C-alpha cells in the first residue's frame, strides 16, 4: 500500500465515520473510495445501456445474474 498525506475536513471525516460505522479514519477513507469507484462504474454501465453491446433480453440477463455464472 502507498502512504498518503492529505488534509481533509475533520467534521466530514467524523460524520462519515459515524454514519458508516467505521472505527478508523483509514477505514472510512477506503470505504468511501471503494463506493466512489463502484458508483462510477455503475454510471458507466448505465450510459452504455442500449448501446447494443449485449443482445440479451431483460429476462435472459436476469437468468444469467441468478445463475452466478460470472
Write out the chain's pLDDT in tens, 70 residues.
899 999 999 999 999 999 999 999 999 999 999 999 999 988 887 777 777 777 778 888 888 888 876 5
43 is a domain residue = yes
Domain count, the chain: 1
The predicted structure's pLDDT at residue 46:
77
2 is a domain residue = no
**pTM for the predicted model, two decimal places:** 0.66
48 is a domain residue = yes
The one-character DSSP state at 3 is -
The three cell numbers of residue 6 are 492529505
Domain residue limits at 40: 10-67
The distance from CA 66 to its chain's CA centroid, rounded to whole angstroms, is 21
The predicted structure's pLDDT at residue 70:
53
Amino acid at each position: 500500500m502507498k502512504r498518503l498525506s492529505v488534509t481533509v475536513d475533520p467534521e466530514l471525516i467524523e460524520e462519515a465515520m459515524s454514519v458508516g460505522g467505521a472505527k478508523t479514519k483509514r477505514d472510512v477513507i477506503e470505504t468511501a473510495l471503494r463506493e466512489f469507484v463502484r458508483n462510477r462504474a455503475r454510471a458507466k454501465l448505465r450510459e452504455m445501456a442500449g448501446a447494443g453491446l449485449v443482445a440479451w433480453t431483460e429476462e435472459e440477463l436476469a437468468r444469467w445474474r441468478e445463475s452466478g455464472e460470472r
